[in-house]
Each structure stands twice: as C-alpha cells, then as structure tokens.
C-alpha cells in the first residue's frame, strides 16, 4: 500500500502543479514565477496536512515530489499556448478534480497509517 500511496502522490503533485500553472497562464508570469507557483500548489496542502498531524513533511523524505512538480510546471508553461480558452478551462477542472481526489486518498491513507483513526481519515 505504501508504494501505491507514493505513486498516487506523484500523480496528484503533477496534477496540482499543472492546474496551478494553467490558472495563471494569462497573467504574463515568467518561468521562475511558474516554478514557484507550481511547486507551492503541488506540495502546499500536503505540507499543511503533515504539520497539523505532527509528522515529517512528505517532500523532505522524498524530494522527487518537488522535482515532479517542477517538471510538470515547466512542461505546462511551454504547452499551455496550444490550448484554447474553453479547452484550458476544461483541463483545469478535470486535472484539479483528479489531483484533489488523489490527494484525498493519500491523506486518508496517511491518517490511517499514523493511527489517527477512521474519523480523521
């Protein structure tokens, strides 16, 4: 189950980095700004979750989450110009929904793993 949770987190990190970049694509942000926003969007929620739970933050143990978020942000930065506005809006909705669902699964798994019980999970 731990390996599955890892891959769920990787996919969700990429999904949230993509939606973060797509959400600001019309604001003229440069590549550095895109990287910062994409990475914060990808790891921010999980970082807050881990701090509240009092456990080590997930990306400190596996910095690949930051790398995946950075790569997804860069690819999206260069590829977003190929999407029309309606396509962009749909992409944001679907990818953001995927990321939220996957992070929800991973958060419940982590709460269960650290014995926070079913109500916390």
Kindly report the average pLDDT of the chain as a whole number. Answer: 86
Instruction: Supply the pLDDT for residue 99.
Output: 82
| Predicted pLDDT of residue 60 | 92
Q: Give pLDDT, residue 84.
A: 72
Return the domain boundaries, the chain.
2-120
Look at residues 1, 8, 37, 6 and name the one whose alpha carbon lies nearest to residue 99. 8
User: Each residue of 38-75: pLDDT tens digit?
Assistant: 999 999 988 998 999 899 998 998 899 999 999 999 99
Biggest CA–CA distance in the chain, Å, is 46
Give me the pLDDT at residue 110, please: 84
| CA pair distance 26, 6, nearest whole angstrom | 32
pLDDT at 35 over 90: yes
**Helix spans in the chain (H):** 2-23, 31-53, 58-61, 64-79, 85-113, 117-120
Quote the CA–CA distance of 35 and 77 in Å, as a whole number: 9
- Mean pLDDT for 94-111 is 85
């Amino acid at each position: 189950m731990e390996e599955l949770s890892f891959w769920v987190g990787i996919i969700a990190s990429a999904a949230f980095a993509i939606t973060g970049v797509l959400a600001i694509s019309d604001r003229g942000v440069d590549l550095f700004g895109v990287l910062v926003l994409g990475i914060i969007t990808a790891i921010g929620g999980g970082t807050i979750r881990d701090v509240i739970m009092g456990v080590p933050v997930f990306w400190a143990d596996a910095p690949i989450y930051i790398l995946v978020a950075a790569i997804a942000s860069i690819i999206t930065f260069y590829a977003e110009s190929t999407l029309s506005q309606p396509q962009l809006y749909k992409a944001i909705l679907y990818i953001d929904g995927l990321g939220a669902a996957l992070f929800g699964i991973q958060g419940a798994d982590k709460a269960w793993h650290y014995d926070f019980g079913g109500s916390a999970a």
